[in-house]
């Protein structure tokens, strides 16, 4: 089965690809397919929730390619900020900051500024991920969540996005200090993608059994 992944983010691709190794599902990317970027893509994540954003992207690229499509939307939700940045995690910092520092660094700096007067015990947060899969005859959304605390300064060199600021109390590390395999074990994205993978593999197995019975 060929499954297209609706992302242009290399960090997300690095995390998702290993979860489909040794399965009958072959991942291809938008770049593999030669899908050109269009201005309307920026409006696909305009919904107030992760699931709606993920489904909007999956349906849009499914329509453009005709292939089974997987899309995800994920972000950081900070309790002291009433759930912000939430679905706007990628665009959290002002545009001028992102132009100056780059997307990830600008977002981290902006988050630290927003939390500069918030004590440690009130810096609780969680990552959430919604993964949408659109097939010709069915569409599903799967979710994953991991809880943690926002650090007062970055820690670790791995991962991407807010990983250097997200502390995992049970592991005693930031998500940026985890190996890719360790992160996939516990992360919001790993949880959601594994659930989607199991659903896809079950569908493939059922289709194979039906074909044999005919």
pLDDT in tens, 110-152: 999 999 999 999 999 999 999 999 999 999 999 999 999 999 9
CA of 123: how far to CAs of 102, 110, 139, 151, 177, in Å? 24, 15, 36, 8, 19
Q: How far apart are the first and last CA of the chain?
A: 20
Rounded to the nearest 5 degrees, what angle is found at the Cα of 170, between the Cα atoms of 165 and 171? Answer: 65
For residue 162, say whether it is annotated as part of any ligand binding site: yes
Give residues with Cβ within 8 angstroms of 172, minimum separation 6. none
pLDDT in tens, 55-76: 999 999 999 999 999 999 999 9
CB 180 within 8 A of CB 10: no
Give the span between the Cα atoms of 205 and 209, in whole angstroms. 6
Domains with residue ranges and CATH for the chain: 2-213 (3.90.950.10)
For residue 75, say whether it is annotated as part of any ligand binding site: no
Q: Around Cβ 64, how many Cβ atoms within 10 Å? A: 17
CB 40 within 8 A of CB 105: no
122 against 184, higher pLDDT: 122
CB 202 within 8 A of CB 146: no
Segment among 6-15, 67-76, 132-141, 164-173 with least mean pLDDT: 6-15
For residue 213, say whether it is annotated as part of any ligand binding site: no
For residue 9, say whether it is annotated as part of any ligand binding site: yes
For residue 10, say whether it is annotated as part of any ligand binding site: yes
Which residue among the candidates 73, 79, 104, 213 is catalytic per the annotation?
73
> Is 73 a residue of the active site?
yes
């Amino acid at each position: 089965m060929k499954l297209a992944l609706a992302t242009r983010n290399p960090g997300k691709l690095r995390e998702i690809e290993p979860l489909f190794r040794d399965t009958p599902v072959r991942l291809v990317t938008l770049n593999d397919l030669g899908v050109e970027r269009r201005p309307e893509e920026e409006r696909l994540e305009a919904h107030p929730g992760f699931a709606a954003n993920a489904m909007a992207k999956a349906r849009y690229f499914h329509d453009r390619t005709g292939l089974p499509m997987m899309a995800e939307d994920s972000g950081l939700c900070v309790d002291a900020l009433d759930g912000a940045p939430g679905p706007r995690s990628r665009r959290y910092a002002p545009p001028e900051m992102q132009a100056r520092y780059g997307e990830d660094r600008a977002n981290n700096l902006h988050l630290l500024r927003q939390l500069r007067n918030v004590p440690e015990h009130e810096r609780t947060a969680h990552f959430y991920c919604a993964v949408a899969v659109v097939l010709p005859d069915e569409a599903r959304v799967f979710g994953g969540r991991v809880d943690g605390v926002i650090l007062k300064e970055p820690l670790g060199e791995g991962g991407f996005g807010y990983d250097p600021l997200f502390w995992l109390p049970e592991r005693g590390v930031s998500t940026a200090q985890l190996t890719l395999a360790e992160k996939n074990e516990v992360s919001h994205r790993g949880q959601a993608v594994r659930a989607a993978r199991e659903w896809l593999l079950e569908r493939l197995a059922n289709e194979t059994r039906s074909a044999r019975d005919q």
